[in-house]
Chain A
Amino acid sequence: MTDTRKYFEDIAIGERRDCGGKVVTKEEIVAFATEYDPQSFHIDEAAAKTSIYGGLIASGWHTGAMVMRLMVDNFVSNVASVGSPGFDNLRWVKPVRPGDTLHVRSECIEKIESKSRPTIGIVKFKNETYNQKGETVMTMTAIGLYLRRPKDKTAKGEVMGEYVTLKAEDGHGFPAYVARPEGKARGGVVVIQEIFGVNAHIKQVTDGFAKDGYLAVAPDMFHRVQQGVDLGYTQEEVTKGREIAMKAAGENLLRDAEAARAYAASAGKVGIVGYCMGGSVVWSAAAHGKFDCAVGYYGGRILENAALKPRCPTLLHFGEKDAGIPIDKVRPFIAQHPEVESHIYAADHGFNCDHRHHYDAAAAKRARERTIGHFRRHLG
């Protein structure tokens, strides 16, 4: 079975998570406090009214415990965690009252490799609890002990890369999946995801470019909307992916692609390749970005931006049966752009993805050969 747990290596500094929706009731406040913190402003409504709080408030330890529950339900179950040594700097900033709804925002702020225990890494998170009005009620620095990813995990179904933190020009920090080649890199390749996030398939594709000798970087293009999106291909997930993609669209995508390019530039010239939504990003990046070459797979918005002129050698792959990018509109586009190397395959949208039923092994293989050829010519 594939180990999908998050290891120390899979967490990036700057990575954020948000969860919540815990409604606090008066009964819960009184029940917790009766057992663990029976001070009058936690258990006696009348006495609380005349206290400095002006009404019943939850024990701070109750708030901490409710946050723990949110963390367990939303984050803890899929991480390779071995507990926590404690936490630092907890502040009860504002009272929590009956009827409040609690949410937690958690950001990874520090990673430390344990010197005494090589199988363990220490990860620190800034956790901020806020209520339905957006007011911060509690802050703390949580500390987690995570297992290091075992070294022999590059077998089938496992990924070979790790997460790094990139910084966009507007100062936004965000995670990117990076796979490194053995030996000296031929150049860099930025891999732009589909609407499904940097999921197993995108990591696999990124690993593939590393195996071909490139420093391959897949930035989380959805981080401004929701970080760490990792969807499959069910109808429900397609709907969810589309919703996020709608919100993520715009110039920020090019900014984030540029941050990934700058990172990959340590390896030399940098190309960009993208799939589906990523194919559309590639088309814009070829026209506006600093990439040395570009490869786009079935980008839905290429046709509406047909007037763009690529400034670097560009290769585009289209599927003949792609209902979203009608072939009778692709043909005039190709005629309009003789400077672009375009190919049409007898395949459907998403033909490169072996996790989807549209996967077409022959088309995927041919397109990949052309893609690698394009990189060899223009990157090295």
Chain B
Amino acid sequence: MRYLDDFAAGQVFDLGVKTVTAEEIVRFAKDFDPQPFHLDEAAGKRTHFGGLVASGWQTAGFLMRLLVDAVLRESASLGSPGVDEVRWLKPVRPGDTLCGRLECLGVEPSRSKPDRGIARFVYELWNQGGECVFRMKGMGLFARKPGAAAP
């Protein structure tokens, strides 16, 4: 179990890989982002994207899933207050294999609630062509290791 106290600035985590399918792009878009370039390859061709691309919110979801599987599942995660500077740098297309990377920027124990604290991270997804397609800064809320907080 990984607690807040187990994170430290400079730590880098390999989050593993995820291969994106056209079927899941379209399925997500139908529910959450029904714009032509997320729904249909031919319609996407007529736009500046030049083909079917994943909704940016789905790309964030891919990152989240990798993060849960690689780090959060075996951690004392309590959720997150939010994220900053979220950037969709390149389109994500069917067949892309995305590789997740997490870097810890620092840890801030809570002053008001001594049993928890915030860890700050940079989260990234890179595609098979070596391009960074998604980057954001954000925070995770974690429980402190039992007994770790100063009395």
Q: Is the CB of A53 within 8 A of B79?
A: yes
Bound state CA distance, A57 and B79, in angstroms? 10
Q: How far is the CA of A49 from the CA of B28 in the complex (A)?
A: 28
Task: Indicate if the CB atoms of A88 and B84 lie closer than 8 Å.
Answer: yes
Contact with B along A47-65 (1 / 0, CB 8 A): 0000111000101110011
A72 at interface, CB cutoff 8 A: yes
Is A85 interfacial (CB 8 A cutoff)? yes
- Chain B residues with CB under 8 Å of A91's CB are 81-82
Q: Are B61 and A92 in contact (CB under 8 A)?
A: no
Question: Quick check: is B19 within 8 A (CB to CB) of the other chain?
Answer: no
Judging by beta carbons under 8 Å apart, are B35 and A76 in contact?
A: yes
Residues on the A chain within 8 Å of B55, using CB? 65, 68
Among B57, B73, B79, B85, contact of A64 (Cβ-Cβ < 8 Å): B57
Chain A residues near B13 (CB, 8 Å)? none
Known contacts A39-B72, A82-B48; is-contact A68 B57 (Cβ 8 Å): yes
Per the bound structure, the CA–CA distance linking A36 and B56 in Å amounts to: 13
Whether A61 contacts B64 by the Cβ 8 Å rule is: yes
Q: How far is the CA of A91 from the CA of B141 in the complex (A)?
A: 13
Closest Cβ neighbor of B32 among chain A residues: A65
Cα distance A258–B105 in the bound complex, in angstroms: 52
Question: Which residues of chain A in 78-104 are interfacial with respect to chain B, using CB atoms and an 8 Å cutoff?
Answer: 82-92
Asked if residues B84 and A89 are in contact (CB atoms below 8 Å), the reply is yes
Number of chain B residues close to chain A: CB under 8 A: 33
Flag if B32 contacts A68 (CB, 8 Å): yes
Determine which of A76, A86, A90 lies in contact with B56 in the assembled complex, contact meaning CB atoms within 8 Å.
A86
**A61 and B60 contact, Cβ closer than 8 Å, known pairs A35-B65, A86-B86:** yes
Q: Which residues of B contact A82 (CB under 8 A)?
A: 48
B-side contacts of A83, CB under 8 Å: 48-49
Question: What is the CA–CA distance of A66 and B86 in the complex, to the nearest angstrom?
Answer: 17
Query: With A and B bound together, what is the CA distance between A83 and B60 in angstroms?
Result: 16
Which residues of A are found within 8 Å of B48, using beta-carbon distances?
A: 82-83
Interface check A343, CB cutoff 8 A:
no
Measured in the bound complex, the distance between the Cα atoms of B51 and A172 in whole Å is 44
The residue that A85 contacts in the complex, of B78, B79, B88, with Cβ under 8 A, is: B88
Q: Which residues of B contact A52 (CB under 8 A)?
A: 78-79
A68 to B38, CA, bound (A): 13
Instruction: State which residues 82-119 of B face A: CB under 8 Å.
Output: 82-88
A92 & B82 in contact (Cβ 8 Å cutoff): yes
Inter-chain CA distance A72–B85, complex, in Å, is: 22
Is the C-beta of A41 less than 8 angstroms from some C-beta in chain B? Answer: yes
A366 within 8 A of B: no
Q: Does A247 contact B (CB under 8 A)?
A: no
| Given A85-B88, A87-B86, A37:B64 Cβ within 8 A | yes
Check: B34 CB closer than 8 A to any chain A CB. Answer: yes
User: What 1/0 mask marks residues of chain B from 46 to 60 whose CB sits below 8 Å from any chain A CB?
Assistant: 001100000111101
| Nearest opposing residue in chain A for B35, CB measure | A72
Complex Cα gap A84–B83 (Å): 17
Q: Does B9 reach chain A (CB closer than 8 Å)?
A: no
A21, CB-defined interface residue at 8 Å:
no
Q: Which of A52, A68, A89 has the most CB of B within 10 A?
A: A68
Set B33, B72, B73, B85: member contacting A68, Cβ < 8 A: B33
Contact between A66 and B32, CB atoms less than 8 A apart? yes
Question: Bound state CA distance, A9 and B48, in angstroms?
Answer: 21
Q: Does B127 reach chain A (CB closer than 8 Å)?
A: no
B88 CB contacts on chain A under 8 angstroms: 84-86
A92-B84 contact in complex given A69-B31, A82-B48, A86-B56, C-beta closer than 8 Å: no
Residues from chain B with Cβ under 8 Å of A92 in the complex: 79-82
Q: Is A38 an interface residue (CB 8 A)?
A: yes
Q: Is the CB of B79 within 8 A of A60?
A: yes
| Complex CA distance for A49 and B58, rounded to whole angstroms | 28
Q: Which residues of B contact A64 (CB under 8 A)?
A: 57, 60
Known: A61-B61, A68-B57, A88-B84. A41 touches B79 (CB 8 A): yes
Q: Does B68 contact A (CB under 8 A)?
A: yes
On whether the beta carbons of B82 and A65 are closer than 8 Å, the reply is no
Complex CA–CA separation, A119 to B32 (angstroms)? 28
In the complex, besides A37-B64, A86-B136, A90-B84, 12 extra interface pairs with C-beta distance below 8 angstroms are A37-B68, A51-B78, A52-B79, A57-B79, A60-B80, A61-B60, A64-B57, A84-B56, A85-B88, A89-B82, A91-B82, A92-B79
Interchain Cβ contacts under 8 Å between A and B, 10 examples: A38-B65, A39-B68, A39-B73, A39-B77, A53-B79, A85-B88, A86-B86, A86-B136, A90-B84, A92-B82
3 smallest CB-CB distances across A and B, nearest first, come from A36-B61, A91-B82, A86-B87
Residues of B with Cβ closer than 8 Å to A? 28, 31-35, 48-49, 55-58, 60-62, 64-65, 68, 72-73, 77-88, 136
Interface residues, chain A, CB within 8 Å of chain B?
A: 35-39, 41, 51-53, 57, 59-61, 64-66, 68-69, 72, 76, 82-92
